[in-house]
Amino acid sequence: MDHRGERRPLLGGRGAKAPSAFAGRRLACGAILLVEALERLAFYAVVGNLVLYLNGSVLGWEGPSATRASLVFTGAAYLVSPFGGWLADAQLGRFRTIAAGLLLYLGGMLFLLLTAEPRTRAIVCGNRTGGEAGWGGPGARWNASGPAASGEQAGTGGDYCRGFVYTGLVIIGLAVGCVKSNITPFGADQVTDRGPEAVRKFFNWFYWSINMGAILSLFLISYIQQNIDFFIGYIIPVICLVLGTLIFLLAGPAFVTKPPDGSAFTGMARLLFRSCCPWTALSARSPYSDLSEEALFTNGRRPLDSARDNVKVLKRVIPVFLTLIPYWMVYFQMESTYVLQSLHLQLPPLFGNHSPSESTHQQTFPAAWLTMFDAVMLLILIPLKDKVIDPFLLKRKLLPTALTKISLGMLFAMFSAISAGVLESQRLIHIGNNDTISQQVGNTTFTAARLTVWWQVPQYFLIGVSEIFASIPGLEFAYSEAPKSMQCAIMGLFFFFSGIGSFIGSGLLDLVSLPAIGWLNCHQDHGNINNCHMDYYFYLLAGLQCVTLLLFSSLTVWYEKGRDQSCRGCVWGGRASRTTRGEGTS
């Protein structure tokens, strides 16, 4: 029997056997996949060239400051995901939370638009030399140590327009958290009654749509931002967000939806508080005081029993999420330090065969396009995995568990960080030998090593392979292990810990930038990284990932031993475990 208020407009009659996993659900699933592709297009329009935008001549932030802002933005976007999950479970429901998040997204993008247009930037941030006006305050002064455009005189002070930029990034981060934690389980809701195989297929195609949006953004918008104008490059994602919001709202009647029925986290928090502070139990209200009689005796179980089961599930998934933190620390370098490294390698011209010394005004290869290489590879490998590799392994009962796949993902991420460190060491050797070129990226001039940017392909390839093995199985693990009352919340926790990884990566960047360590303390080279040792930072990340991989392997053995005892709280009970192991279903 459906819960009161739940809408399942596309379901067939009871007992009817669907010819395929998505039969009758294609409109709902297609709308969600399209909205997700448009949302990812907007997200990568922000994060793809954020380092270049902040480090360029318009805002003039130092390289480490621009990289730190990118990591903070990514971390904020994922860190608020549990709040988005709680908001959907307890207050608004998934549909309305996603819609509200898309509207908030539009508001945050307007902040970046205002900073990208010279006249509005002067109003909200003040001018480059006198930052008293607007949001910037003293920090709105032009950064003297940042790269400067040809013929443009720099002023003094901190990162220009810092307050306004960070405000816009935080608003977008809040919106991303609301959308990201809910659209994944909301999409899975459309096919969850078809069984774990349908959900697995949906996650594969959901991830495919993510990377399609990323490719379009990185290919088209990154080119426009770097070689034409950042203002135009920020208008396009705003249009895409408007289109995505309209599609989502218009497709509303086709969606399988359910009303908010309370967050299991509230009951668990109360239970944990009473366990830690037993003296409060006598004065506290009964755990059943705000529940209806129907809720009290559903399935013959008390709500306190469900809360205890949920705590057990939480205690089993959180160690997995915690050990994924170093993986996310490496993964998010793809959009921050890897891009900063690209700007200091030789970028080929897009048109013509001019030598680097003659290329001051020609259009160059966008640094963010290397990130697109990762997305293109995922677009190719995900259908291959879904249609060929997984069925082949499943038929022979060799399909590895999600945790085993995550271990492989960690291994590839470690090799990606090592590859980046080796390349950075070689780049610094070229810099030390004065084997450099002066190249213009957009309207900013960088001193780069005479070492082609194509040497970055291995590290992007390895991080892309790691994403296949770690991120997709991670989504499947988070959804399948969650009780129905906690699906959004558990998914939010998955993204929350990825945000923690991004923040810790940013904090580690701050730590190695201290004068006492000095790996990334390079004010003397005008905001570039040519007198820094970013290679040490990459090796440190690889070392942390190696230690965590060993810990995670031990955790996987422990988890699999106890999985059968805990899977009664899973979405599909024991069937999810058997299917994941390749044993099929009865």
Quick: pLDDT tens for 556-586.
Answer: 777 766 555 544 444 333 333 333 333 333 3
| Residue 93 to residues 203, 245, 361, 584, Cα–Cα distance (Å) | 21, 17, 52, 33
Mean pLDDT along residues 129-152: 38
Number of domains in the chain: 1
In a domain? residue 206: yes
Whether 94 and 196 have beta carbons less than 8 Å apart is answered as no
Q: What is the pLDDT of residues 430-470, one digit of tens each?
A: 988 988 888 877 667 778 889 888 999 899 989 888 888 88
pLDDT at 357 over 50: no
For residue 354, the domain's CATH number is 1.20.1250.20
pLDDT of residue 576: 38
The whole-angstrom separation of Cα 274 and Cα 282 is 10
Q: What is the pLDDT of residues 530-551, one digit of tens each?
A: 878 888 999 999 999 999 999 8
pLDDT of residue 12: 46
Mean pLDDT along residues 393-399: 80
Residue 443, CA atoms < 13 Å, CB-side half-sphere: 16
In a domain? residue 269: no
Residue owning tokens 């997709």: 472
- Dmax (CA) for the chain in angstroms is 80
- Looking at the chain, the whole-number percentage of residues with pLDDT higher than 90 is 13
Bigger pLDDT: 418 vs 368: 418
Closest to 29 measured CA to CA, from 208, 169, 189, 160: 189
Bigger pLDDT: 62 vs 458: 458
Q: State the average pLDDT for the chain.
A: 74
pLDDT of residue 67: 80
pLDDT at 364 over 50: yes
In a domain? residue 268: no
Bigger pLDDT: 269 vs 406: 406
Domain of residue 245: give its range: 26-262+317-580
pLDDT at 287 over 80: no
In a domain? residue 356: yes
Mean pLDDT along residues 305-316: 69
pLDDT of residue 465: 86
In a domain? residue 267: no
Per-residue confidence band for 24, with pLDDT thresholds at 50, 70 and 90: low
Torsion angle defined by CA atoms of residues 453, 457, 462 and 466, in that order, rounded to the nearest 10 degrees: 90
pLDDT of residue 161: 81
pLDDT at 261 over 90: no
Distinct helix (H) and strand (E) counts, the chain: 22, 2
Per-residue confidence band for 139, with pLDDT thresholds at 50, 70 and 90: very low
pLDDT at 526 over 50: no
Q: 3-state DSSP helix/strand/coil percent for the chain, to nearest 5?
A: 70, 5, 30
Per-residue confidence band for 374, with pLDDT thresholds at 50, 70 and 90: confident
In a domain? residue 235: yes
Query: Global pTM?
Result: 0.66
Q: What is the pLDDT of residues 193-228, one digit of tens each?
A: 776 777 777 877 887 888 788 888 888 888 888 888
In a domain? residue 276: no
Mean pLDDT along residues 465-481: 80
Residue owning tokens 């559903």: 298
